[in-house]
Structure 1
Amino acid sequence: MTTSAATSAGLTDQEVAARIADGRTNDVPTRAARSVAEIVRANVFTRINAILGVLFLIVLSTGSLINGMFGLLIIANSGIGIIQELRAKKTLDELAIVGQARPTVRRVSGTAARPPNEVVLDDVIEIGPGDQIVVDGEVIEAANLEVDESLLTGEADPIDKSVGDPVMSGSFVVAGTGAYRATKVGREAYAAKLAEEASKFTLVHSELRSGINTILRFITYLLWPAGLLTIYTQLFTSDLGWRESVLRMVGALVPMVPEGLVLMTSLAFAVGVIRLGRRQCLVNELPAIEGLARVDVVCADKTGTLTENGMRLQEVIGLGDDAGDGSADAALAALAAADARPNASMQAIAEAYPVDPGWTETGSAPFKSATKWSGASFGDNGNWVIGAPDVLADPGSGAAAEAERIGAQGLRVLLLGSSDRSVDTPDAPGVVTPVALVVLEQKLRPDARATLEYFGEQHVTVKVISGDNAVSVGAVANSLGLQGETLDARQLPDDTEQLAGVLEEYTTFGRVRPDQKRAMVGALQSRGHNVAMTGDGVNDVLALKDADIGVAMGAGSPATRAVAQIVLLDNKFATLPYVVGEGRRVIGNIERVSNLFLTKTVYSVFLALLVGVVGLVAQLTDAEPLLFPFQPIHVTIAAWFTIGIPAFVLSLAPNNERAKTGFVRRVMTAALPSGLVVGIATFASYLIANPGSQAPAQLQTQASTAAYVTLLISAWWVLATVARPYQWWRVLLVAASALAYLIIFLVIFLSEWVREKLMLDPSNLAMMSTAVAIGVAGAAAIEGLWWLQGRILGEPRRLWR
């Protein structure tokens, strides 16, 4: 028996108070998150807000307040982003408190589970299988204590710990029990130092975010030449005076900035966090919402995922000549009483045998996932082991055959046996004499079948990976309707390529060791799969960490919750489809929204380039300069109902379309041609209507209005294509957008005061007719491009859902 101790009753309340007063507390935040001040600063001081702010001040210098309405975008961008991120922070912080590891702290006043931030220097913390080491410390008690430090050091083998040995925060206990004294707390702890940079609140490592950043870099390259050309031609080649020239320059520059794109992306993520929070789903890393939507293989642990954690002892079947003499019952009661940190199986046995026979323990061996057995020695009462029948019994024996038969019914079967040597010897368990089969009943989760069916419908492959008997695991999978072959993991090859081939062939795996779970995740990833791993036990930690998305059950070990990106606090496997749905909503809707914003940027840049080039040519040939057709108020109103409000609605709408890779390619394939069509149509309309810079102001306003009408019609049709496939509310959204502009123009037509303030004049019916005709032609071209893009991208186009 590997036991050592230097026991301590822990700190007194006075000693704890003194350490708190001195600041010697575990003051690391409960989760990586931005503070309120950081959230406000990050949403206010953005590059886009800075650009709009400078342009807003330039417009104010002209005295035209109405043209400065686009400045409201700064308030909207900042306000919406701050509010939603604060709501998401509140949701996550509340859930994190529920889901955090609560170490068992021993003090003179009593032993109790406490939040990590209540641990102080020199506290004594008790540990057992599955417990996470929350602060650095020194072991003061150890009974077969083994600690896995792989998350910190990369060393996969558990390390034996004795009194005086150090333990590091971030590691976790895989076997045995013990206690340690906290020697470093808070930011001085080892894991806290390692995580200081990695734990920053961020939305990086996301295909969606990185794709948008790529697009924004591309736009930046376009903005420089278009912006400089516009500034030069509007300020130095026209004779309108500085005030009018500045307004037209700003009118060209403002729509080039995709002001709402980043906002809508952050908003969609934040709303996803809030929605999932209502379902008791803690998202430790925001991109996990997107990541799970891209997953095509889910590796599900059986116990705690497909079945409930609790178990019930169904029967004990005696074996051999000693069957029925009561020795099995007494041994089971003694083993249950001797186990200070029982797992689910031992808890079920303890409930069935609550009376301790009073045997004196002389040695013990804790359960390990690698060995699949545990046991205790009781002097004259013998050495007893309990564990997997196919590990402890001869494969050809009657006991193994009977266990196989019972396990085929989906029941968990353990073998109770007596050993010829003490269980804590290096060569234990030695020769095992089977005494009884312990049959445990596991309850299937009522929502497991529906969840597996959902993944099947979505073409997501499910692999059941368990440490239990392969036949038993296969029976559970079959009872849930999961089709496929079952394999004992002891037959798995070590070579990654061969392992990947086996994983493609089989669906259910039993007797899987923790290192094999990790290897299986890696093998699937080597074939290009996005892998999600679900689990709740300490044996799942390494696989959870290596998977693309790790999903832990809230009732699982603290170590699994610590490494997982998603924690299902209510332990419901059925929550996963909602997480997938949120990810698909984020990905699909942001792609739609991106098309709107980037189309506006493309046509704004292209229109500015066309006007600027004509202006340069005019200057070189002494011809009449060409003014930019719009002022800032025009582009502000244009964005209201073709982009702003529709984009907000579309970004939050339901969307179950399967996530696909190639975000940048699809968005640019749609936005570039559509933007060029809108820009060409608007420029052509303006050229036809343009009366020249020497013409009366009314005619110039009418020409600008004609170009504006063409712009609105063609841009509105971009919205009409982006909103597809139609549902009743999408049709209503598109129709409401058109109706809003019809009402605006009706008011302008009827009110001279509004006409003057908005600098629009639709009274020239000849110009308006031509503008409408060009706008319809532009819309027809956009419609044709939409169908053509579907063919190029290999995506079937549908008008209706």
Structure 2
Amino acid sequence: AEAKKLETKESSEMVRDINKIVVFAGIAIIPVGLLLFGRSFFIAKDTFRTSVTSMVAAVVGMIPEGLYLLTSVALALSAARLAKKKVLLHDMKSVETLARTDVLCVDKTGTITTSRMFVTEDILALSDGAFLYGNVLLKENAQVKEEALEEEENLEDAELEEAFEEKLNQEKEVLLPKDNLSVKRKTLGKKRRSCKKKKSAKKRFSAKRSYFKKKKALSDDNSLNEEENEALVEAPSIKRVSTKEEKRLVESAETLLALYINALNDDNNTTRALKEKFKAPEGKHLKVVKSLAFSSKNKYSSIESVESTYKLGAPEVLLSGEHLKNCTPIIDYYAAKGKRVIVFTKDDEPVLLIVIENEIRKNAREIFNYLKKQGVMIRVISGDNPVTVSRVAALAGINHADSYVDARELKTGEAIEEAVDKYAVFGRVTPEQKREIINAIKKRGFKVAMTGDGVNDILAMKDADCSIAMGSGSDAAMQAAQVVLLDDDFSRMKNIIFEGRRNINNITRSATLFLVKNMFSLLLAIYSIVLGMNYPIKAEQVSLIAMFTIGTPAFLLALEPDSRRAQDHFLKRVLIKAMPAGLTDFFAVVALTIFAKTFTMSEDELSVAATFLLAIVGFIILANISAPLNKYRVLVITGMILGMLLTSYFLDFLFGIKTLSKQCYMLFTLFAIATEPCMRYLTMFGDYLEGKLEDRRDRYKKKQKWKCAAKEKE
């Protein structure tokens, strides 16, 4: 029921702040417009036409008429570009949220790894505490050897030479494991030259290369501690089938598991992997009395038949006492290799241990390194064994993968609050705990994104600031997510973050231009009401200024790529950036109106001079927010200046542009020169305020004392 709840609060900071701007402007224009009209018509006794014209000019300047349209167009274009890259947006504004993300919480299965699972081993548990390798291991070994041989045959000589030299240079003197792999450099050189001809040499080279890769992975992986590294090379004591009786026992256990899987009718990745490996004999089935499907909360499934009760799930949940003690070395061994172990029990007695492996995504390390460079912290939240999750996270290149915890130990909300300060990997997590972890991180002032592919992830995805689902995941997860990666390519995160940053940075720039006009118009309208004067600029002239200093350049600049890291506090930053130009416009026009009375300038001359003063300030702020300038931005600014001049000359009758007197030219030139230093000093003050805002944000996040975050910054 909770998963079906819809979030009614607007999640996009940028859209929330734009809504505030529009609401404020919509409320302010009503009293300001009425006061302007009343003062002009009833007090100054101007004509109805003059009063309405004065009011409309002020109201038009106070409305950010193109800001909503520009934002919608920019978001729609981003959605279209991402759709071409197989990314579906349920909410166009989600790209902005993801671009602001501080912490990305990922599930192991379906995110770090693909959704595909395969059984690598099955191990029979004997009544005396001993273990036997099952049939799957024997079949897998034969298949792996055959595939390795085919792979070597397909390699070109140059690739073999390059691979050999690279690995040989890394290990000058190597003592390989037994099985005829202890060789000297000279012997290796001879065998390398003949590896194309002799299959036996190819097999040895393949084994040698595999060893080098494994050794290099261990040496490069600083996330694993020494005990885990030892576990990778020291296997537990497991016997191989040596008698007909042992073979019969293994086959009987595998058949029982196959019957269980068929009777359960459960449909998930684990069940599909088991069905692929274990085939039940035709005509046989379990007589089911009662069944329980697998759930992330229980961590197991069960069937009660006429004869016995069977269960399949996490060993830590289904086993206890001596049984758990006997199985622990096997569980730890495979967990340290990044593999998952589940147990099949009969009447609470272990029958089979099944080892399942997930394929790590090929580009996982690349994308996690990219996110790290972008300042995004990664937290892994999974329902699997924490050691397994830790190992997989380490192989994927996630920082602090060795810092893990078993969520079954986190009994209270306070324990979870403390855990998010200490750990980067959470194992054996229930759906409810996933949500609590997400909310605990959000309480620390971080923007949190959550990826998932299953029903058990939905609660956490709903509470996250941004949710991402895989296309191969469950339909429920895809419906709940704001972003869906249709082709399961996790590297699309780069494209989403890039589009989000493009939107935030470009709309911040455009909103600054719109707010300059709104701020100036509001101040000038209040000034006109207080001093009892008509609004000095005509409505058509306001439209001319907006066309070439706001609307057109804002749209053109919004199309430009921009990958700079997005900053918080959209509204405050926009107001700070718009303030210098808005105040400069106000001071310049007010000064011009004061001097116009002294030099007896006409209202038409005043409005024309004020129009071009506002245009000059508009082009200055346009150049400032476009910094650093490039060819495209210079072309846009130059085009706008030429457009303003040509339109004023050829379409002067449409915009009320009149010829100025000599005195008016002199005043205009004087104030045009004065606008630059005024603008410069106000900009310096704005930069000071913006710096204070950034320092305050940094201090706030430092107060959270998130130890894991501090480690990553180091």
1:322 to 1:455, Cα distance in 2 relative to 1, 3 A: closer
Bigger drift between 459-468 and 312-321 goes to 312-321
Q: SS at the partner of 2:267? A: coil
What is the Cα deviation at residue 521 of structure 1?
1.9
Aligned position for 1:597: 514
Q: Is the contact made by 1:393 and 1:400 (CA closer than 8 Å) also made in structure 2?
A: no
Distance 1:359 1:651 in 2: 66
Bigger helix fraction: 2
Question: In 2, Cα distance between the equivalents of 1:377 and 1:613?
Answer: 86
Q: In 1, distance between residues paired with 2:335 and 2:632?
A: 53
Seq. identity, %: 34
Deviation at residue 569 of structure 1 after TM alignment:
2.7
Give, in angstroms, the shift of residue 384 of structure 1.
4.4
Contact 2:101 2:376 in 1 (8 A): yes
Q: What is the deviation of 1:444?
A: 1.1
Amino acid at match of 2:613: T
Is residue 761 from structure 1 mapped to residue 677 from structure 2 by the alignment? no
Cross-structure match for 1:640: 547
Match in the other structure for 1:402: 330
Corresponding residue for 2:677?
A: 780
State how far apart, in whole Å, the 2-side matches of 1:573 and 1:453 are. 13
Q: Which residue does the alignment assign to 1:98?
A: none
Give, in whole Å, the separation in 1 of the partners of 2:353 and 2:498.
44
Give how far 1:443 is off. Answer: 1.0
Rounded Cα–Cα distance in structure 1 between residues aligned with 2:29 and 2:335: 68
- The aligned counterpart of 2:275 is 350
The equivalent residue for 2:687 is 790
Q: Which moved more, 1:503-512 or 1:280-289?
A: 280-289
CA 1:332/1:507 → structure 2, altered by over 3 Å: closer, same or farther? same
2:317 matches 1:391: yes
Matching residue of 2:635: 732
Structure 1 residue 465, shift from structure 2 partner: 1.0
CA shift digits 1:503-547 (9 cap, x unpaired): 121111222122221222222233233322211122222222232
CA change 1:358–1:368 in 2 (3 A) is farther
Unaligned runs of 5+ in 2: 133-240, 242-246, 695-714
1:262 matched to 2:68? The reply is yes
- The Cα offsets for residues 204-241 of structure 1, whole Å up to 9 and x where unpaired, read as 45433332333334435653554344324554677986
Deviations 1:89-147 (A, max 9, x none): xxxxxxxxxxxxxxxxxxxxxxxxxxxxxxxxxxxxxxxxxxxxxxxxxxxxxxxxxxx
Any conservation in 1 of the 2:11–2:97 contact (CA below 8 Å)?
Answer: no
Structure 1 residues 379 and 252: alpha-carbon distance in aligned structure 2, compared to 1, 3 A threshold: closer
One-letter amino acid of the structure 2 residue matched with residue 573 of structure 1:
F
**How far did residue 774 of structure 1 move?**
1.3
Question: After superposition, where does 1:223-238 map in structure 2 within 5 Å?
Answer: 223-224=29-30, 226-232=32-38, 234-235=40-41
| 3-state SS of paired residue (1:794) | helix
Contact 1:721/1:783 (8 A) holds in 2: no
Partner of 1:416: 344
Matched, 1:509 2:426: yes
Q: Structure 1 residues 281, 306: closer, same or farther in 2, change over 3 A?
A: same
Q: Tell me the distance in 2 between the aligned counterparts of 1:436 and 1:765.
A: 100
SS at match of 2:426: strand
Greater RCO (CA < 8 Å, at least 6 residues apart): 2
Alpha-carbon distance, 1:244 to partner: 5.5
**Matched residues in 2 for 1:487 and 1:203: separation?**
34
Task: Choose 386-395 or 464-473, whichever is displaced more.
Answer: 386-395
Q: Is the 8 A contact 2:580 2:683 kept in 1?
A: no
**Equivalences for residues 213-252 of structure 1 within 5 A:** 213-220=19-26, 222-224=28-30, 226-232=32-38, 234-235=40-41, 243=49, 246-252=52-58
Give the direction of change, closer, same or farther, for the CA distance of 1:597–1:456 in structure 2 (3 Å limit): same
Aligned to 2:393: 477
Distance 1:777 1:466, change over 3 A: same
Deviation at 1:473, TM superposition (A): 0.8
The alignment partner of 1:443 has SS state of strand
Does the 8 A contact of 2:60 with 2:542 survive in 1? yes
State whether residues 389 and 415 of structure 1, in contact with CA within 8 Å, keep that contact through their aligned partners in structure 2.
yes
Task: Tell me if structure 2 keeps the 8 A contact 1:331–1:384.
Answer: no
| Counterpart AA for 1:473 | V
* Distance in 2 (alpha carbons) for counterparts of 1:242 and 1:367: 77
Confirm or deny: 8 A CA contact 1:229 1:609 kept in the other structure.
Answer: no
Number of matched residues? 570
Q: 1:252 to 1:397 in 2, by over 3 A?
A: closer
Displacement of 1:460 after TM fit?
A: 1.9
Q: Which whole-Å deviations, capped at 9, do the CAs of 1:397-436 have from their partners, x for residues lacking one?
A: 342212211221112222334x2x3xxxxxxxx3x23x44
Deviations 1:328-348 (A, max 9, x none): 332333233334233222212
Query: Is 2:405–2:423's contact at 8 Å kept on the other side of the alignment?
Result: no
Between the aligned partners of 2:455 and 2:612, the Cα distance in structure 1 is 64
Query: Residue 646 of structure 2: SS of its match in structure 1?
Result: helix
Q: Is 1:586 matched up with 2:503?
A: yes
Give CA deviations for 1:237-287 in whole Å, capped at 9, x if unaligned: 779866556545433432222212232233333333333333333333444
- What is the CA–CA distance in structure 2 between the aligned matches of 1:465 and 1:779, rounded to whole Å? 55
Residue-by-residue CA offset, 1:41-72 (whole Å, 9 max, x unaligned):
xxxxxxxxxxxxxxxxxxxxxxxxxxxxxxxx
Q: Give the conservation status (yes or no) of the 8 Å contact 1:311–1:440.
A: yes
Give the SS at the match of 2:397.
coil
One-letter amino acid matched to 2:517? K
Matched, 1:366 2:293: yes
Q: Which moved more, 1:626-635 or 1:589-598?
A: 626-635
Amino acid at match of 1:391: V
Q: CA deviation at 1:590?
A: 2.6
Contact 1:471–1:486 (CA under 8 A) maintained in structure 2: no
Equivalences for residues 110-259 of structure 1 within 5 A = 149-151=1-3, 204-220=10-26, 222-224=28-30, 226-232=32-38, 234-235=40-41, 243=49, 246-259=52-65
What does residue 587 of structure 2 align with? 680
Q: Does 1:500 align with 2:417?
A: yes
Amino acid at match of 2:505: G
Give the residue type in structure 1 aligned to 2:101.
V
Aligned equivalent of 1:334: 259
Alignment partners' CA distance in 1, 2:509 and 2:557: 7
Tell me by how many angstroms 1:303 deviates. 0.4
Aligned partner letter, 2:118:
R
The corresponding residue for 1:572 is 489
Which piece of structure 1 moves more, 479-488 or 458-467?
A: 479-488
Letter aligned with residue 335 of structure 1:
Y
Q: Is the CA contact 1:230–1:608 (under 8 Å) kept in the aligned structure 2?
A: yes
Moved more, 523-532 or 478-487: 523-532
User: Gaps spanning 5+ residues in structure 1: where?
Assistant: 1-148, 152-169, 171-194, 422-429, 617-625, 749-753
Aligned-partner Cα distance in 1 for 2:45–2:656 = 19
Say if 1:713 and 1:776, in contact at 8 Å, map to a contact too: no
- Contact persistence 1:288–1:565 (CA under 8 A): yes
Structure 2 counterpart of 1:425:
none
Tell whether the 8 Å contact from 1:706 to 1:762 is kept in structure 2 after alignment.
Answer: no
- Superposed CA RMSD: 3.2
8 Å CA contact 1:254, 1:632 repeated in 2? yes
Contact kept in structure 2, 1:372 and 1:388, CA below 8 Å? yes
Residues 386 and 405 in structure 2, CA contact (< 8 A), matched pair in contact too: yes
Is 1:547 equivalent to 2:464 in the alignment? yes
Partner amino acid, structure 1, of 2:335: G
Residue of structure 2 equivalent to 1:649 = 556
Q: Contact 1:333–1:357 (CA<8 Å) still a contact in 2?
A: no
Structure 2 vs 1, CA of residues 226 and 371 (structure 1 numbering), >3 Å: closer, same or farther? closer
How far the C-alpha of 1:637 sits from its partner, in A, is 1.1
Show the counterpart of 2:77. Answer: 271
User: Does structure 1 retain, via aligned residues, the 8 Å contact 2:266–2:293?
Assistant: no
